Structure 1
Amino acid sequence: MADPMKVHVGQVLPPKILTPLDGFAALNQIVDAVHDCINVHAVEKTKQTRIAAYETVEVGRIKAAESILRQYFEQSFAERRAVFNEMFDRLDAALDKGDSQAVSSVLTGIVDIAKSSPIANAGDLSQIRAALDDPDHEWEL
Structure 2
Amino acid sequence: MSIHEIAQSAYGFNKLTESIDPTECFQQLISQYLEYKTIVEQEKTKRREIKAWEKTTIAKINTYRDFVMEYLDRSFDERAENFRKLFDVVDRAMATNNNTQLGLALDSITELAKSSPFKELANLASVQAALDDPNHEWTF
TM-score past 0.5 threshold: yes
1:98 to partner: Cα distance: 2.1
2:70 and 2:43 map into 1 onto residues whose CA distance is 40
Matching residue's letter, 2:99:
S
1:51 to partner: Cα distance: 0.4
- Aligned equivalent of 2:55: 56
Aligned-residue identity in percent: 26
Within 5 Å, give how 1:3-14 maps onto structure 2. Answer: none
Counting matched residue pairs gives 121
- Distance change >3 Å, CA 17–CA 128, structure 1 → 2: closer
- Aligned equivalent of 1:8: none
Residue 28 (str. 1) matches residue 27 (str. 2): yes
Residue 71 (str. 1) matches residue 70 (str. 2): yes
2:69 and 2:129 map into 1 onto residues whose CA distance is 16
Matching residue's letter, 2:78:
E
1:90 and 1:77 map into 2 onto residues whose CA distance is 20
Question: 1:60-106: CA deviations, max 9, x gaps?
Answer: 11111111111111111111111100001111111222222212111
RMSD of equivalent CA atoms: 2.3
1:21 and 1:14 map into 2 onto residues whose CA distance is 10
Whose helix fraction is larger, Structure 1's or Structure 2's?
A: 2
Which stretches of structure 1, 4 residues or more, deviate above 6 A after TM superposition? none
Gap regions ≥5 residues in structure 2: 1-11, 134-140
> TM-score normalised to the size of structure 1?
0.75
- Aligned equivalent of 2:125: 125
Gap regions ≥5 residues in structure 1: 1-12, 135-141
1:33 to partner: Cα distance: 1.2
Identify which of structures 1 and 2 has the higher relative contact order when contacts are C-alpha pairs closer than 8 Å and 6+ apart. 1
1:128 to partner: Cα distance: 2.5
- Aligned equivalent of 1:88: 87
1:104 and 1:74 map into 2 onto residues whose CA distance is 29
Matching residue's letter, 2:93:
A
Q: Secondary structure at the match of 2:104?
A: helix
Q: Secondary structure at the match of 1:39?
A: helix
- Aligned equivalent of 1:4: none
Matching residue's letter, 1:39:
T
